Amino acid sequence: MNIGIDKIGFFAPPYYVDMTKLAEARGVDPDKFTIGIGQDEMALAPVTQDAVTLAANAALQIIDEEDKEKIDLVLFGTESGIDHSKSAAVYVHNLLGLNPYARSVELKQACYSATAGIQMAKGHIALNPDSKVLVIGADIARYGLGTPGEATQGAGAVAMVISKDPKLLLLENDSTYFTNDIMDFWRPLYSENAYVDGKFSNEQYILFFNKVWEKYKERTGRTLADFAALCFHTPYTKMGWKALRTILEEGTEEVQEKLKANYQTSIRYNRRVGNIYTGSLYLSLLSLLEENDTIQAGEKIGLYSYGSGAVGEFFTGILQPDYKKYLHINRHEELFRSREEVSVEKYEEIFQNTLPSDGASIELESDNDPSPIYLSGIQDHKRIYVNRIR
């Protein structure tokens, strides 16, 4: 059975910071952020957006009435969870008005978990060919003001419908994966911000990539020449390039040029959003699909997923006929166009305006957040969400 990504949607919060201005405010050469790290803009979530609202806003754009009936599994990958017990998937299921006869679960393994969701979704569709699965990766990446990780923050979500006979990308069945218990990035339960051994995480990202790529070649006999493009988990856009360049010489000059050019296309959206952890690889895939004009149906795309701690996976998909027709390019152009730039001072204010950590109730000001779905407050320890368009 052909199973894969049938639909893909994306959402970023309504604010962003210009990385050149952030560099200037931090006394850093702007080229470090825009070239050395490879980020132009950083999406910023107001307090009225959390992982649940980002996810629901992303999914809202792609699901229709038929999807609402057929989706019977919601798999939500996030490392910005809002509760130790109740899954973020249940809130999203309700906010979207999905068929109640569904399973809804949150998955965690740092930036890798949406990929786990996709692989589980494939198994579910294989057993239940007429159903559909909603897989979401949504996160707010926070390292802290003035930290080395600050330039690699971001916020947003990617939502995908996985089904049989997919319209966008048929997922093949020869992925390779690798797990090793390391401490390169983590966020203890008591902390709003992540702890990271930045240099070590870069090294491990590349090491895991090399391991799964070698295993993939060994298992399948394929080479770089089989691929139109490789997409990477993108904590910052230079990171994927650092991994790609370790294997580029395996290809002819022509293959190298093609993969380099398509890598640049695959990071255009990521350059403007920053790190969205679980959704980052899929934002890169979306950028490639929407922004390229050379890749044809039938061509193969490789995807590298990495989640600190750590799990890595390399898997592949085949582009489907007329895939461009089923994308929402205008909507995403509009999303970028409608975002508001905020000053570094305002960013710091928004960043520090977090929810009460002592269990107090709060009503949030929603006038500054035009998103269709937002968090309106907390009452009796319960988050209250609003869907403006339902």
Nearest distance, CB of residue 21 and ligand COA, angstroms: 16
**Between 287 and 308, whose beta carbon lies closer to ligand COA?**
308
Q: Does 210 bind ligand COA (CB under 6 A)?
A: no
Q: Does 284 bind ligand COA (CB under 6 A)?
A: no
Q: Does 270 bind ligand COA (CB under 6 A)?
A: no
Q: Tell me whether residue 231 is one of the annotated catalytic residues.
A: no
> Which token pair is 76?
């939500």
Q: Does 308 bind ligand COA (CB under 6 A)?
A: yes
Alpha-carbon gap, residue 196 to 362, rounded angstroms = 31
| Contact predicate 121/73, CB 8 Å | yes
Q: Does 152 bind ligand COA (CB under 6 A)?
A: yes
Q: From the list 135, 239, 259, 335, which residue makes contact with ligand COA (rule: CB under 6 A)?
A: 239
Site pattern 121..150 for ligand COA (x: CB under 6 A): ---------------------------xx-
How far is CA 149 from its chain centroid? 18
Sites for ligand COA among residues 190-209 (CB under 6 A): 196, 198-199, 201-202, 205
Give the C-alpha distances (Å, rounded to integers) separating 316 from 60, 211, 229, 277, 371: 27, 16, 10, 20, 33
Residues 6+ apart with CB under 8 A from 349: none
Nearest distance, CB of residue 236 and ligand COA, angstroms: 6
Q: Tell me whether residue 111 is one of the annotated catalytic residues.
A: yes
Catalytic residue of the set 111, 124, 231, 290 = 111
Alpha-carbon gap, residue 186 to 197, rounded angstroms = 9
The packing angle between helices 198-220 and 237-244, to 10°, is 40
Residue of 370, 276, 354, 342 whose CA lies nearest to 16: 342
- For CA atoms 21, 201, 238, 169, the dihedral sign is negative
Pairing type for strands 15-18 and 340-341 reads parallel
| Contact predicate 304/280, CB 8 Å | no
Catalytic residue of the set 233, 290, 313, 332 = 233
Q: Does 227 bind ligand COA (CB under 6 A)?
A: no
Per CB under 6 A, the segment of 92-100, 236-244, 287-295, 345-353 that binds ligand COA is 236-244
Binding residue count for ligand COA, defined by CB under 6 A: 22
Q: Does 36 bind ligand COA (CB under 6 A)?
A: yes
Q: Tell me whether residue 233 is one of the annotated catalytic residues.
A: yes
Nearest distance, CB of residue 24 and ligand COA, angstroms: 13
- Cis ω before 310 (30° cut-off from 0): yes
Which residues are part of the catalytic machinery?
A: 79, 111, 233
Contact set with ligand COA (CB under 6 A): 29, 31-32, 35-37, 148-149, 151-152, 185, 196, 198-199, 201-202, 205, 235-236, 238-239, 308
